[in-house]
Structures are given as C-alpha cells and as structure tokens.
Amino acid sequence: MEDAHLIAINTTEPMPKLTIDNREIEVPEGTRVIDAAERAGIYIPRFCYFAGLGAVGACRVCAVKFKDGPVSGIQMSCMVDAADNMVVSTTDAEAVDFRRHVIEWMMMNHPHDCPVCDEGGHCLLQDLTEACGHGIRRYPGKKRTYADQYLGPLICHEENRCIQCYRCSRFYQEYCGYNDLGVMGIAQRIYFGRHKDGVLENPFSGNLIDLCPTGVYTDKPSRYTGRRWDFQRTSGICIHCSLGCSIKTAARYRQIVRLEARHSEAVNGAFICDRGRYGFFYANSDTRPRQARVDGEPVGPGQAAAAAVKRLESLTERHGEQTVAMAGSGRSSLETLAACTHLCRIRGWRGPVFQGGCGAVVRAAVCRLSPENAVSMHEIQSADFVLTVGADPVNESPMLTLALRQAWRKGAAITAIDPRALDWPMEFLHISVCPDEIPALLRNLGAETDYENRNSPYPQKIEAIQKQLEKSRRPVVVCGTEITDAETVNAAADLVERLRAWKKNIGLFYTLPMANSYGAVLVNDHPVTPDELIDQIESGQVNAMVVVESDLWETYPDRDRLTRALKRLKLLVAVDCLSTQLLDYAHIVIPSLTVFEAGGTYVNQEARAQWSNPAHAGGIPIKITGNNNHPPRVIRPGIPGGDIPSAWETALRLAGIEPPADSERMADWMVRVFPVLEPIRDPVPRGARIFMPESRRKSEKSIRTKAVRGDFMFISAAAALGDEPLSSHSPCLESYFRPPELWIAFSEANTYNAAEGSAVCLDVAGQRLHLRLRISENVAPGVLLVYRHPGMQWRPSDSQQRFYVNRQQISISGPCPDNEDKDKAGQ
Amino acid sequence: MHSRVLLKNQKENRIASIEEYRQDGGYEALENALARNVPSPEGIREILLEANLLGRGGAGFPMGKKMSTIAQNAPYPRYLVCNADEMEPGTFKDRVLIHADPHQLIEGIVLAARAIDAQIAIVFIRREYENAARILEREIKTARDAGYAGKNILGSGFDCELIVHRSAGRYICGEGTALINALEGRRANPRQPPPYPTTRGLWQLPTEIQNVETLCCVPHVIKNGADWFKSLALTEEGAGTKVFSVSGHVKKPGCYELPMGVRLSELIEIYAGGMATGSRFKACMPGGASTQFMPESMYHVRLDYSELANHGYRLGTGAIMVFDHKTCLTRVTANLMEFFARESCGWCTPCREGLPYILDLLNRIEAGEGKAGYIPMMQKMCDHLNYSYCAFAPGAAAPVESLLHEFKEEVMAHIQYGRCPFNSDQYD
C-alpha cells in the first residue's frame, strides 16, 4: 500500500529541478533545499533542523547562497522549498564565512569540555565546529554558566553545553505534548529544562539524548562505559511491544550498553519510547540463567538437551506422545516459534501454547488484517479521523501515541472507545464504556445512518462518531487486543469493510500483546489455552512440559493451582534467557540467547517481518567475569559463557534436527517448513509483509463468562512500564512502575462512600489484592480497573482477560495504611 | 506655527473628554461611515490607500496596502490589533496620544475594524503604560455607552468589541508576529512570514496590526479626505503629520506634532528650543534606537520616510535622540546594545549571541581595552546580523554600523589612547 502511495507521488506530482553545487537534482515538490542537497549527497550543516520535527530556521547554520532562481542571496536552506531553476551554492565564500561565524557564536559560551563529555565522539557540535572552520576563540569575554537539573534516572542534564537549537523543547512540547520541560528566559539567559528538578514526565524523554546535537542530555545508565567508537553498533528491532520499532544497539565487553532510535520511515520514524530504549537490561542481568542444569546439577547445554530428549522419549514410550505439552510466547523470535511448532508437530506433542499468540482475540486480529486494510504508523499520521477501540497506546504500544498525536496536530479528530481512564497527550473524545458494550456500539456505525432505530446507550456520542466518519476521507480504526475480545476485533474489521464499501480510504490498525504475537499465529494453527493445559495436567493427561521463553507464572492468575499443577509434572524442561519463577520448578534448565546475541525475525502487528541483527557474540559480561575489575585478569581461549545456544537451536536439537549454521540458512529452513513465511526471503528494506493466507483465515468466536446483574467487570490493564516481561528487569525503570491501584468510576465510588486513596481489599481468581483506590470520571461504570505491575505479578491469560467480580468481594477500609505512614512522617 | 491634527485636543495635565473630542468633529467620520455607510468599508480602504498613510510604528508600510492583503473571502473572525507596545527607546508618542485624546484612537480603531470587517479589536499595550491602559478601558466603556463601540454600532449592524490586553513586557512583543504569539499565550518569538498576519495571524485568522499613531490618523483622513491629508505634508511624497518624540541635549525635550517633511534643524531650533546651553549638535538618531546615527551633515534634512530613505536612513518611529559634541557615541552605542542584547528573544543564534558579543567588544573599547582588530570584527558581525530570523538584529546593528562608519575616528581614539577621550576636558 505504501509503495503504491510513493509511486503515485513520483508520477503525478510536479518534480522541481534545481542545481546545487553544479549538480542537477530533481526532488518531489515541497522538499526543503537542505533535504534536496542531502539526496544529492551534499550535507548542509544543521542544528535546529531535524526531519522529524520540521524546519524552524532558528540556528542559522544551514545558510547557503542562492545564486539564481526565485530566491536570492544568503538564505537558510531549511526554510526554502526546492523550486525550478534554483541555483544553490553551499561553498559560496560568504555562506561559508557566515556559517563559520554562527559556530563561533555558538561556541562563545560552550564549556569546551569534550574530553569529559559523554557526547564526545558522536557530537554534532564537535563535527560541525570542525567542519565549519571555527578553530580559534576570538571572544574575549567570560562564559555564561547555568545550574544543571536532576531529570530522573535516565537522563543527565548539563545545560552549559547548550547551543539553544530548540530541538528538545520542540520535541518535548510540540511533538509529544508534554509540558514539564521546555525553554525559559530570553536572550542569552535562555534555559532549557524544567521549572525545578524532577523526573521527566514524558515517556519518550530518552529521545532528547538522540536529538540533542551536543551533550546537554546524555544517557545516564550508560555513563562511563565508553565512547561511541568503542561500541559494536548494530541495527535491530525493539521487542518490547508489538510495533517493532527500529533501534540501534551499542554493545561493549559482552553487554548491551545503550540503545538509540533508528530511522524507519514506515514504523517509528525517528524516535522510540523509553520502554524500548531502556528495556534491554535483562540481557546484562547478573541473575540471567547462564548455566544449563539437569536436576540442579550444572552440565553443558548440549548434555542438558540430550538428557531432555532421553527423558521425554522414555515418558512418551510409557504415556504416549500426547503426554508432552509445549509452551512458548510471543516474545520469541519467529525462528524460535517456527522451531517449537515444528518440534511439537513432528513429535506429536500437545500445543504449542504461545502466550500472547494463541488467544481468540489475537487470532482474530491476525485473520482480519489484510493487505487492503492494513496501515502503518506512518500512514496513521496523515489520517484525518482516528477511532480507537479498546486501545491505550500510552500503556500498550507507546509509539502509537506519537503517531496519533501527529495526526491530531495536523487536524485529525481522535475518538476513543475504552473503559479506562485514558491519559493521552492530545485532545480526544472519550466514550468510556464497559468492554462488553463495544461490539454493539461498533455495529451501530457505518455506511447507513439511521440513528433513531438504533438501541445504543450512547446515542449522542455515537452520532458524533458517525458524523466524523461521514466527513473524513482518510479514517483509521485502531483496535487493541489487551482488554477486548474477538467479537470486538471482528466488529472493528466489519466496520472498516462497511466504510470501504462507502468508498472511504480507510485503514485498520491492531495492536497485539507481544512483539511476535503475529508471528506466533502465523506458524501455529492449534490454539490451546493455558486453562486447558492446566486442566490436562491436573487430570494426568499431561505429564511433561517443554517451555520455551515463556513464564506461566506470569500468565496464569491462580498461583496456588498453578503451583500444584507444576508439582504434578514428571518432567519440566525450561528454556529461557530470563530468570523466571518457572525455572525454580524445572527439572532441566537450558539457558538461551537474547535477541541481542542470537538475532531474530519479528513480525509486528501490521504484518511486517523485520530481522533484528545480533549485536554481539554473547558470553558472560566482563563486568561479571572480572568482578567489576577491568581488564580481566585471567586470559582463556573462547568466550566465557559463549556456549549458550539460541532457543531455536535448542528446540531443533530436541526435535533431532541439526540447527542450520546461520540465519540465512535458518530462513531457508523456515520457508521450507512453513511456506507462509516465504516473504521473509524478500529483501525489502522496510520489512516484508506476511498476511494470513485466505485458506487459513478462520472466524474466531469470543468466549464469554456470564455476568450476574450488578457484577463488576475486572480488567487488568497493561502499564507502560513494569508490566512488559523484558523491560521489567531494568533497574533504571523501577521508579516508574505504577503503585498497586484500583481505579473505579466516580459514580461507583459514591455508592461505596469511598474516598480517593482508601485501602481496598479485593478477592479475584483465588488471589487477594491489596490496592489503593483511585477514582476517575473517565473510568466506565461497572468496571474495576487494575494496571499491572511487577509487585502484583498479575497478568491475565489469553482466555481470561476479564473477570466478573461480585460486589461482595470488595472491601474498602478507609484511608490507606501507606498514606497514614506518610502523614505521620510528614508530621 | 504649523497647525496640529492629532494633538489638537491635548490639554494641560488632563485627558480630553468624549464631549471635547466630539465638539471638534470627533466621531463624525464614524457616524457617517456606520450610520450612512459613507464611505463604505471598501471606501475606507480606498481613501486610506490614496492618502498614502504610512504605518507610524517604524516600518512605514502603507496602511491601505496592508489592508488590501486581507482577501474579500478571508475567514472570520478577523482581528484588528492596535500595537501600543511602545518600547523603542526614545519613543513616547503613543503614550502622549492616548493620554491626550483617547477617543481619537477609539474612533480610528473602530473605523479600521469596519474597513476589514473585524469584530474584535485588541489594544496590545505596554505593561508599563498601566495608566494609559486604565484610561483606555474607561474611555472604551464611555464610547460603548455612547454607541460607538460594542454591538450594533450606531444601528449599522456592525459589531466591534475592543479589548485592552497588557503585554507581559518585552521589547520583542512589539514585533507584529511575536505580538501574535504573545497574545496566544506562547513565547514571544517572531514568526517568519509568509503567511503574513493578514492571511494567518492571531489563532491562524486574518489579523491587521497597526500602530497607535497610524490609527489616530484614520478618523481625520476619513473625515477630511486623502487630498487634505497629503496636503498636510511639506514634501511631495509625504502625507500627514508626524508626532516626533524629541529627547537628548535640547532645551525643550518633548512630543511635537509637525508636518511630515519638516526639517530636522527647524524641529530642534524652533520647537525643541535649540541645543542645550553649551552644547553643539553632533549627531542624532532619527527614529529610535534601532536606526543609524545621523551626523551633522544631515542637520537640514527633511524628516520624511522617503526623504530619509534616499539618504540611507530610517525615520522609524520618529524618536529624535539628539547628542551633543561632549557625548561619547561609543558609550551611547554600548548602552543601546545592552538594551538589545537583553531584549533579544533568544530564538536565532546571530541575535542571541552576536549582540552580547558586540556589546562586550564595545564595552572593552570604552574601557580602554580595545584592539584595532575589534572594528573589522564588529563590522563583519553587523553584516552577518542581517541573516538573522527577524528584523530585530539588523535594527540593533544599525547604530553600531553607523558608529563604525561615520564616527570611526572616535572609536579609534579610544583604542589609540587606551581610554575614553570624552572622559577628559579635551573636547570641552
């Protein structure tokens, strides 16, 4: 769809032809001269100009001379659109002299502290100061100095280095819509920071590090780890949600040092979210499993796999093939998912159960997405109306928030149908309804309008959406899968189909629970729910389990039942790169590589299969082997801990197949075994798209629990940080985790006569939760909303996203004990 | 003596009342234009265009021409902004005009609003002009009660609400596009046209911004016609009168309304009472701090926009700052640069960093620590200030440029003797 779009631009739009430094260039209309030059390989210096943020002409360092054509004289190349007959010189003496002068001005107050600056070595100011020829300081005056601020655990602030390019304040306030960081003062006293020290509120704040052309904002966790040239830098894919943003990985001394955003036109543009940027610490963790064990005894990974094969064979001989079940999850690479599925198939085991990839809702989303309706995040930015259904991008897939905001900034209306108290950095119409009501609500929208005969409880708001749909030319429906059911997912797709018949250029955008949920559905046609699995263990049908990169502990709410079930198992083989609770119950543990060491293909929620390169060879970080001393004192051949196989290698070994030698051959193997994956062989730079073949599209039905009149619906919702299994291992993100809170509607709180901050005790699914009450007018009545966090260790399984809770199961006991403590401390 | 137009109602120590304003033909033009539609809105625009009424805020852009850039089918609501953010150093005419005859301004605003069909008129007033703001608020109420403002003015069906908005107080707020940002609650950074404010100004809607003095001229132009207005001037190209704010080494500093094209010498010697005792004319700034120094050779020049432009100068706001032979112009320039360096909005590099740079060099020269190399450095820097984002920095560079051009010997003397030559008795 995008390619067609681009070709359309190329053929029908006028293409201005201009000359830059004696080179003739043809560019699409509306291209700035600075970009036109870059297309021709001529780099014009810039500080304030950043493609993702647009041009403002503040820094004046991109000055060039216009010698002929509609514009003349020295002008800023970022502020002028390319036009026919322009003759531009970047090397004109006056322009060169002016640019040198601009740099001199910028360096007047710069501290010249490059040797101790973390930006040194990849600093745009350093590069351009050199390039523009300002070498000798002439300014005889003193330098202006500032106080730095504490901005939280992620970003260091050193304002003295600032050259006032305004990138940070524009990104923070205009692009993202957060206001706690910005520009203050005027003239030379201008200051970029917060009104006072404090943790940045913007969940995309890490981009300040990438954006800042000098060392004002630098990465805090990676301080003192090296210069950029010390790092192994590779391009990768972020796996902390289903969007699949592009990242740049920096590794040194066998650990990941930091991540940066990598430009991806269709997916994330130039930025990434903080969850993605700082979620990698699991890969460096001291507690990461690095030693294969059989019954607690350390062995080599190959021996452990051999032992597993032997024990599994003896079990299947006794109890039949179906006595073994296999589980995995959507956080694995497509290679691992394919290998596991194949292993299950040829051995005749049960499953696989892919957490975040086998529920009806995810399957429905994958089956309903088609080449005709799928849109990318880039395309969402040019939508004129976005309807989000059961999606909370800020918490579920953060970068989508920025895409929605860019659409809103260009004038799109945003409407959200969701039961949660949405806190988005833009204006939107919020229709807060219980998830059960959403499908009926969507069915009331569409081509033919007949409001009176509709029995919708929200006639006015529905009418407002209908009007927007009628008016818009490029609407997009965004549908979440975290708190919705298959019926909602289908209703969203049906709505898109009705509108397409109405000749709307409409797009559909699903968000999925995990990085490779889509891939999991592509390879695996056998949906088994975790509940069924537990039932089968309890009934003795299943005696052995092979679990690859999945933690049932996290996914199954009833811990007691799960513990009993796991203890019944005769054999539990766990393969993982995370130290999960499940490993404590496993008889055989085989460590696996992370995406940074093994690489992997990930299919994002819009069917885009993207390859993530391995960032380094793996092994135990030198920090650990050297006991925090550097350099290592013991020199040995080989890499310590470098014998860990990837999860797919282990899976194939368990299947008795010798793993392919490299990723290319692995791809060949995958395509041979799973023909649906054929597009991954296609070297499309943006990532090949893999849609579900027509023959395999099934209509998914929702499993609904019956509600008793007056029951609450309990929703456990994703939280931006602390919920996603990988990034919750990052120590630097811990302070951002939400406290355990129960959100209810204002009207419900009134019936309980409860005050904000009260302590709440809630019994659900065999667990007792102690929470603090939050009251919001935006939460749908009849809903109990809990944002997940690691302390609560609570996550719904795919089939049990929502429960009904009897009103008797809640007790509210006045002010929260924590509050009282605080009050006392305050006194 | 030339007859006064804008200041004819000026009273000693008090403001003119609405009755006093009306006695002398005040609000006649408004009554005709609104109650009888003579002239019609198009008529008003035509007369203003023909009268060659130039914007008195400093740029001297023809008011009629600016109005004609608002298209017939331009969206609504449209805004008229009266720029009373008088912050150009040496300029105080707007304050005098408001204090003298506020209804003249109110009538001008409503007529101009009528011409472009603006329902909302905002007086953006300098924060230090609290008295003037209160006067305007009170007199706007009086005018509204008399039916000259507000809803359905004089039964014409035309509405015009007048709002007095106090500036948060920065020089740059007087720049039209920065003023719009300030009104919208943003940082007062200028916007780079196009689009011009008349196409997309306040809240992205058509906005006409005019200076107080320009708007004060409007009722008289509409009432008496374009030819009358043009005949007021002493030069061919000029039109109307100009209120000059005279300050510096003269006997009687103050506000003088004189015909456009009056000679500088006449202004100083006849109206401002001549040079102060013991002072000889050395130079003056013709239009506020962001214009060049005019040396003695220009003493007899006619003060008119085109006349000065022909000689390479700018009439600006008509704020004549006179300096005598004992004044050190390096020190004067450093003083002005201190103001500009402080008032830069901080948006673009040349202005934000270049002005403090020049200030530092000037201070060093004045303190006797200057080097000969500083002069070409400053000259180059002034050239490069022309490539900044808005007109602020080029304006700030104007006095420096003329100092280095016309009074280079003075500057060189500082460097040569290692001290300011005006600190001794040698020039007395």
Same domain, B289 and B386: no
| Lowest model confidence (mean pLDDT) among A15-29, A489-503, A627-641, B92-106 | A627-641
- Top-confidence residue, B68 or A704: B68
Q: In 3-state terms, chain A is what percent helix, strand and coil (to 5)?
A: 35, 20, 45
Domain of residue B268, residue span: 233-324
Say what the pLDDT of residue B45 is: 95
Taking the Cβ of residue A140 and every Cβ of chain B, the question of whether any pair is shorter than 8 Å is answered with: yes
In whole angstroms, give the CA distance from residue A106 to residue A59: 9
pLDDT tens column, A608-618: 999 999 999 98
Higher local confidence (pLDDT), A805 or B301: B301
Shared-domain flag, residues B268 and B181: no
A551: pLDDT strictly greater than 90: no
Closest CA to A218 of A152, A127, A145, A154: A154
Who has greater pLDDT, A202 or B425? A202
Are residues A506 and A531 part of one domain?
no
Can you tell me the mean pLDDT for A123-145?
Answer: 94
Position A189 in a domain: no
Q: Which of A779, A727, A728 is nearest to A749 (CA)?
A: A779
Residues of chain B positioned with their CB less than 8 A from the CB of A63: 387
* Chain B hits for A141, Cβ within 8 Å: 356-357, 360
Report CA B294 to chain centroid distance, whole Å: 18
Residues A379 and A433 reside in one and the same domain? yes
Of A106, A123, A145, the position where a domain reaches its end is: A106
- Chains A, B: CB contacts within 8 A come to 83
Domain containing A563 — which CATH number? 3.40.50.740
| Distance in angstroms (rounded) separating the CA atoms of residues A196 and A174 | 20
Say whether residue A96 is in contact with chain B using an 8 A CB cutoff.
no
Q: Which of A98, A138, A164 sits opposite B352 (nearest CB)?
A: A164
pLDDT of residue A816: 53
Asked if residue A177 lies in contact with residue A425, where contact means CB atoms within 8 angstroms, the answer is yes
pLDDT for res A822: 41
Distances (CA, A) of A103 to A73, A95, A126, A171, B354: 20, 12, 10, 23, 11
**pLDDT at residue A511 is higher than 60:** yes
Q: Please write the tens of the pLDDT for every residue from B144-157.
A: 999 999 999 999 99
Same domain, B376 and B258: no
Going by C-alpha positions, the residue among B67, B11, B76 that lies closest to residue B221 is: B67
Q: Which of A476, A511, A546 is the last residue of a domain?
A: A511
* End position of a domain, from candidates B278, B300, B324: B324
CATH number for the domain harbouring residue B115: 3.40.50.11540
> Is B10 domain-assigned?
no
pLDDT tens readout for residues A47-88: 999 988 989 999 999 999 999 999 999 999 999 999 999 999
User: Looking at the structure, do residues B76 and B209 belong to the same domain, yes or no?
Assistant: yes
Q: Are residues B261 and B221 in the same domain?
A: no
Residue in chain B lying closest to A100 (CA): B384
Considering the domain boundaries, does residue B72 fall inside one? yes
Q: How confident is the model at residue A739 (pLDDT cuts 50, 70, 90)?
A: confident
Give the list of residues 6+ apart from residue B144 with CB closer than 8 angstroms, or none: B150, B162
For residues A157-181, average pLDDT: 96
Is A188's CB within 8 Å of B344's CB? yes
The answer on pLDDT for A45 being more than 80 is: yes
What integer best gives the mean pLDDT of chain B? Answer: 94
Span A676-690, average pLDDT: 82
Is the Cβ pair B342, A61 closer than 8 Å?
no
Considering the domain architecture, whether residues A542 and A679 belong to the same structural domain is answered as: yes
B9 in a structural domain:
no
Question: Are A568 and A665 in the same domain?
Answer: yes
Q: Checking DSSP bridges between strand A232-237 and strand A246-252, what pairing results, if any?
A: antiparallel
Residue ranges in B165-232 assigned as alpha helix (H): 176-183, 212-224, 226-232
Identify whether residues B182 and B292 lie together within a single domain. Answer: no
B356 → chain A, closest CA residue:
A188
Residue B301 in domain: yes
Confidence of residue B405 (pLDDT cuts 50, 70, 90): very high
Around A781, how many Cα atoms within 13 Å sit in the side-chain half-sphere?
8
Residue A579 shares a structural domain with residue A535 = yes
Locate A683 and state its tokens: 């070297």
**Same domain? A545 vs A506:** no
Here the CATH number for the domain that contains residue A83 is 3.10.20.740
Q: What is the average per-residue pLDDT within A548-563?
A: 81
A789 belongs to a structural domain: yes
Overall average pLDDT of the B70-91 stretch: 94
| Residue B385 Cα, gap to closest chain A Cα (Å) | 10
In this structure, are B66 and B165 located in the same domain? yes
Instruction: Give the separation between CA B394 and CA B400, rounded to whole angstroms.
Output: 10
User: Does any domain span residue B92?
Assistant: yes
In a domain, A328, yes or no: yes
A106 to chain B, any CB pair closer than 8 A? The answer is: yes
User: Looking at residue A714, what is its pLDDT?
Assistant: 86
Distance from CA of A148 to the nearest CA of B (A): 19
Cα–Cα dist B64/B394, whole Å: 26
Task: Determine, yes or no, domain membership for B8.
Answer: no
Which band of pLDDT confidence, cut at 50, 70 and 90, is reported for residue B351? very high
**pTM above the 0.80 mark?**
yes
Weakest-pLDDT range from A13-17, A491-495, A674-678: A13-17
Query: What is the predicted pLDDT for the residue at A826?
Result: 34
- C-alpha B39/C-alpha B64 separation (Å) is 15
Interval B295-304 mean pLDDT: 94
For residues B40 and B71, membership in a common domain is answered with yes
Q: Which residue of chain A is at minimal alpha-carbon distance from B357?
A: A139
- In this predicted structure, what is the pLDDT of residue A530? 77
Sheet strand arrangement including B120-125: B161-166, B120-125, B79-84, B207-211
How many domains is chain B partitioned into structurally?
A: 3
Find the mean pLDDT for residues A437-446: 87
Q: Residue A800: pLDDT above 60? A: no
* Domain CATH code at residue B390: 1.20.1440.230
Residue A341 has which token pair? 């599925």
Nearest by CB to residue A58, choosing from B347, B357, B380, is B347
**pLDDT at residue A11 greater than cutoff 60:** no
**B285: closest CA among B269, B271, B264?**
B264
Could you tell me the sign of the dihedral formed by the alpha carbons of B59, B63, B65, B70, in that order? positive
- On whether both A654 and A742 belong to a single domain, the answer is no
CATH number at residue A418: 3.40.228.10
B201 and B289 in a single domain? The answer is no
> Of B324, B322, B233, nearest to B286 (Cα)?
B322
User: Do B73 and B189 reside in the same domain of the chain?
Assistant: yes
What pLDDT does residue A770 have? 83
Q: Are residues B25 and B132 in the same domain?
A: yes
Q: Give the number of domains in chain A.
A: 4
Q: Most B CBs within 10 Å: which of A60, A137, A139, A159, as the mutation test of the B interface?
A: A60
Q: Is the pLDDT of residue B6 over 80?
A: yes
Same-domain check for residues B170 and B250: no
Which of residues A65, A91, A106 is at a domain's end? A106
Domain boundary among B188, B209, B231: B231
Average pLDDT, chain A: 89
Nearest to A105 among B172, B346, B349 (CB): B349
pLDDT given at position B81: 97
Q: So what's the pLDDT on residue A462?
A: 83
- Does A613 map to a domain? no
Rounded alpha-carbon distances, angstroms, from residue A354 to A325, A604, B220: 11, 16, 84
**Domain co-membership, A376 together with A506:** yes
Residues A340 and A387 in one domain: no
Omega before A659 within 30 of 0, i.e. cis: no
CATH number of the domain to which B290 belongs: 3.10.20.600
**Cα dihedral sign, A673-A674-A679-A683:** negative
Looking up residue A798, the CATH number of its domain turns out to be 2.40.40.20
CA distance A228 to chain B (A): 29
Q: Is residue B106 part of a domain?
A: yes
Q: What is the pLDDT of residue A760?
A: 85
Are A453 and A500 in the same domain?
yes
* Domain end position, chosen among B324, B349, B379: B324
In a domain, residue A437? The reply is yes
Is residue B246 less than 8 Å (CB to CB) from chain A?
no
Q: Is residue A671 part of a domain?
A: yes
Q: Does A107 lie at the interface with B, CB-CB under 8 angstroms? A: no
Q: Are residues A506 and A529 in the same domain?
A: no
CA separation for the pair A268, A308 (Å, rounded): 41
Lowest mean pLDDT among A81-90, A324-333, A756-765, B330-339: A756-765
- A677 within some domain: yes
**Residue B123 near residue B156 (C-beta atoms within 8 A):** no
B363 within some domain: yes
Do residues A652 and A753 share a domain? no
- A360-409 residue pLDDT tens: 899 999 999 999 999 999 999 999 999 999 999 999 999 999 999 999 99
Confirm whether A114 is domain-assigned.
Answer: no
Domain that holds residue A21: 15-106
